Structure 1
Amino acid sequence: MKNIDAAALADATSNFSPLAPGAHVAQGVQTHDARRRTILAAVIGNTLEWFDFAVYGFFALTISRLFFPTGDETSSLLLTVATFGVGFVMRPIGAIVLGALGDSRGRKAALSTTILLMALGTAMIGFAPTYADAGLWAPAWIVVARLIQGFSAGGEVGGATAFLVEHAPKGRRGYFASWQQASQAGALLLGSVFGATLTDVLTPEQLEAWGWRIPFLFGLVIGPVGWYIRTRTQESESFVQAKAAQGQHGQASPLKRALGSYRKEIIAGFGVTIVWTVCTYFFLVYMPTYAVRTLKLPQSVSLWANGAGLMVLVVLAPFFGALSDRIGRRPLLIGFATAILVLAYPALWLLTAAPNPSTLTIVLLVFAVLIAGFTGPAPAAMAELYPPEVRSTGLSIAYNFAVTIFGGFAPFIATALIARTGNPLAPAWYVVFAAAASLVALLAAGSALRNRD
């Protein structure tokens, strides 16, 4: 890993040569400060975006009591995780609008817009009145905030991934694009640390009274930092040239062109995303809730174990992204999707057979490695399906439709499966299904997901 990172960093300090898949390479020169702003804009902004979006999941139990007090704990939790999923309903719309904005007006314009919208939604949650204060207006307020956050998140992955890929040196697209996933994991890690720390230092009464608001207000305060960095970045040479050529030939809008000429690529990207999103939201977002409700472990223990898994993902996603630059994306994607399919059920069986902190930590660490092995190369593989002029649109649509259908409601589906069957192992079959679906998509995609430097 050390040698790979050193090589990547060496390339990062040389001239950038943004690459479009299967197209001519346009050489661009950036100053050291411009290169640094480019990477920081994607990584820091992406981290802030996903911290704001995911922290809701980590405080699901507290929010369920404050905003959805039905008198039945399971019903309250179902309403809370359903509201978590509601945010994902807006993601396809955000993907279409903000993805097309990124391809028509530039990555900078789209990414600056996403972070402002996310800050607005986060502020609404941070200052939301509880059910005791405002009655039914309180859950309605939370739903609106989640819809705004979902719209914003719909444009983030496509825009940030396109931004990283197009500024990557030759032969380093996998490594650079993997920071999109690493920064997502970093955001989840930050949220997990907030949750574990607040749970440890505050009493349950303090946490419910005001402590749960702290991470939302933190996200609101630091959001302008990401916006400031993003407004001072440069567009890639490949994107600028693609837009110039598009202007000369008067081509259709990014949305029409993506849906008209790249339907197969969108379907392939959709399939690849299924196991990515289900594993992320089940193992790395919902697992603390599963550990508390099903395994009867302390909330702080579940959050710290989750944090350990997220730390592994932050470190290993760039490693596997760099490895994909050497051996190809497809072998890693197929190999790790297969491993997830095989190990999902045994992992949950082990957790329920020995529900203790050590077992939880081991399972989360193992799956963090598997998720890193898949999601490290996945962003570059999906970005390479499209040319620059439709990359943000195509990638955003494929990714966000899959996340909305399969990932956003993964916590709800897991909770409902357990409630309906009474079997704590039932969610494992959903993970198995997701892995099988992505394997079918990978095998069907064939050479479309091979490196094309």
Structure 2
Amino acid sequence: MPHGDAHHPSTPDAPQAGVGPGGRRLEVDDVIVVPRKKVKTAISGTVVGNFMEWFDFGIYGYLAVTLAVVFTADLPEPWGLLVTLLGFAISFLVRPFGGLVLGPLGDRIGRQKVLFITMAMMAGATALIGLLPTSSQIGLWAIVPLYLLKMVQGFSTGGEYAGASTYVTEFSPDKSRGFWASWLDVGSYVGFAAGASVVAVTTVITEWLVGPGAMVDFGWRIPFLLAIPLGAVAIWFRLRIPETPAFEAVHAEGAERPNDPLARHGILGTIRHHWKAMLVVVALAAATNTVGYALTSYMPTYLETEVGVSNLLAAIATVPVLLALSALLPVIGRISDRVGRKPIYLVAVISTLAVMVPAFAIMQIGEIWAVMIALCIVAVPAALFIAVSASALPAMFPTATRFGAMAIAFNISVSLFGGTTPLFSQALIELTGNTFMPAFYIMFFAAAGGVALLSMRESSNRPLVGSVPTVETKAEAAAVVERQDTDPNIDLSSMPLDLIDLAAASASDDDDRRERDEDRELTPA
């Protein structure tokens, strides 16, 4: 069965219909038909994993000030908080190594298998953090196992988002890929909001039962230990999702072809063929994740240390904003299916440059109403960036190397620029005394993303590069075949029609061998 991806890195914005290898035409049986029910099952199993990943980030971000006391009690301020935030940054610095290993592995053994591995690693490491000794027990050595477990999480995350976005992109019909892929980040931000909510509820209950020091004494462990039941559920969902039809079509051929950009390659070959698209992903991922992590992981710390709100209010304030942002993502994703991904990205860049400084100025008023208005303002460009990321970025690479290329480019960007946002933002404030530095940091990367848009090709409503079209019904498949010579979004030269023929021939040979074997078994000696 074939696959469907958006456009080849070397194809123009409006590729010509062309012909397939050897003059091969697209036939109805070539087109991937994925019924809506199957799309929903596959994507829900992927979303639950992203929920779990960001649940952990939410916990760590909202407990950063508390964890600074728990693990670095002997360090003076602001070093304790910076050392704790460094643990967050370390998990992101490890992500490229996870991407280098897990991404190419996902192109070889399958998306579903790697997504199961990443989920198990993430859930296990999160739960173990809740069992760690504190600095009151073993001194500053307490930070070492914390860092090690954050590194395990970072390694697993190196394959998580790249794999999950690749998975939902390949499973989604071409005409609605923006809508379906946007649900991946709905899971992310609902997971973050859930982490924040758990921290807030745990704080209220433990301090009501035990007193003001309850979170430092033991309460901080509870949110991390919840990863045990939540992780079990997420792993069960991951076991149930099928492999993508796009991967199965390409994997049937398997061999690497060094000079073919559409073929599967190792790390160096992937970089050689797709380095331009990878640079675009680096820039756009940096723009997306600086504003995303500022709103999520860093905002509780900023509200407590620079605005002066309470720990509980800092945890609660962003929850409704994140839920509202999550509700917007499918709406924006649906719009991107109609107007394209690039226009949405462009609006995101312009809005970031326009509103970020005013938002931080309003936030520093310090009243709850001002904080909520400011967070809502920041959430608007964040939602625009986030909503199209899962559909736009993986679509820049061919199916055979999509997971690997996406994992390498995306994780380099997030590790250097996105995940370090809390650490760099706080460090810049400490260095300059300017509480607007996080806004300037976000704006810089938004501008860089705007420059990258000049080299990005539109991918909405097109088959994925190195894949055949993906639709929801047989009638749509027939319509695609009928218009293959006139639709500028259909480029037969980027479709693996020769691989489909090889896979069909191989399957036919297997059937013939099975029939001969059965005949031998039935024939008397």
How high is the TM-score relative to the length of structure 2?
0.79
Which of residues 17, 21, 26 is equivalent to 2:6? 21
SS at match of 2:346: helix
Distance apart, 1:20 and its partner CA: 1.6
AA aligned opposite 1:142: L
AA aligned opposite 2:236: Y
Pairing 1:220-239 to 2, within 5 Å after superposition: 220-239=228-247
Distance apart, 1:42 and its partner CA: 0.6
Distance apart, 1:389 and its partner CA: 1.1
Q: Deviations over 1:390-443 (max 9, x none)?
A: 111111111111111111111111111111122212222111111111111112
> Does 2:42 match 1:38?
yes
Partner of 1:219: 227
Please give the alpha-carbon distance, in whole angstroms, between the structure 2 residues aligned to 1:196 and 1:54. Answer: 11
> Does 2:283 match 1:271?
yes
Q: Deviations over 1:175-213 (max 9, x none)?
A: 111112111111111111112222333323111111111
Counterparts in 2 of 1:211 and 1:119: CA distance versus 1, 3 Å: same
Q: Deviations over 1:157-184 (max 9, x none)?
A: 1110111111112301111111121111
Counterparts in 2 of 1:271 and 1:248: CA distance versus 1, 3 Å: closer
Pairing 1:112-123 to 2, within 5 Å after superposition: 112-123=116-127
Counterparts in 2 of 1:17 and 1:344: CA distance versus 1, 3 Å: farther
Counterparts in 2 of 1:199 and 1:45: CA distance versus 1, 3 Å: same
Pairing 1:226-375 to 2, within 5 Å after superposition: 226-247=234-255, 253-352=265-364, 354-375=365-386
CA contact (8 A) 1:351 1:359 kept: yes
Please give the alpha-carbon distance, in whole angstroms, between the structure 1 residues aligned to 2:409 and 2:458. Answer: 15
> Does 2:141 match 1:137?
yes
- The structure having more radius of gyration, on CA atoms, is 2
Give the percent of matched residue pairs that are identical in Structure 1 and Structure 2.
32
> Does 2:456 match 1:452?
no
CA contact (8 A) 1:54 1:191 kept: yes
CA contact (8 A) 1:308 1:365 kept: no
Please give the alpha-carbon distance, in whole angstroms, between the structure 2 residues aligned to 1:248 and 1:283. Answer: 42
Bigger helix fraction:
1
Distance apart, 1:252 and its partner CA: 5.2
Please give the alpha-carbon distance, in whole angstroms, between the structure 1 residues aligned to 2:437 and 2:256. Answer: 56
Distance apart, 1:123 and its partner CA: 2.2
Which of residues 154, 158, 164 is equivalent to 1:160? 164
Residue correspondences, number: 436
Please give the alpha-carbon distance, in whole angstroms, between the structure 1 residues aligned to 2:204 and 2:448. Answer: 40
Unmatched segments (≥5 aa) in structure 1: 1-15
Distance apart, 1:34 and its partner CA: 4.6
RMSD, aligned CA: 2.1
Runs of 4+ in structure 1 deviating by more than 6 angstroms, as ranges, are none
Distance apart, 1:56 and its partner CA: 1.1
CA contact (8 A) 1:172 1:325 kept: yes
Q: Deviations over 1:59-95 (max 9, x none)?
A: 0001000101244231110111011101111100111
CA contact (8 A) 2:54 2:191 kept: yes
Partner of 1:403: 414
> Does 2:420 match 1:412?
no
AA aligned opposite 1:350: I
AA aligned opposite 2:387: G
AA aligned opposite 2:249: Q
Counterparts in 2 of 1:137 and 1:351: CA distance versus 1, 3 Å: same
Unmatched segments (≥5 aa) in structure 2: 9-25, 464-525
How high is the TM-score relative to the length of structure 1?
0.91
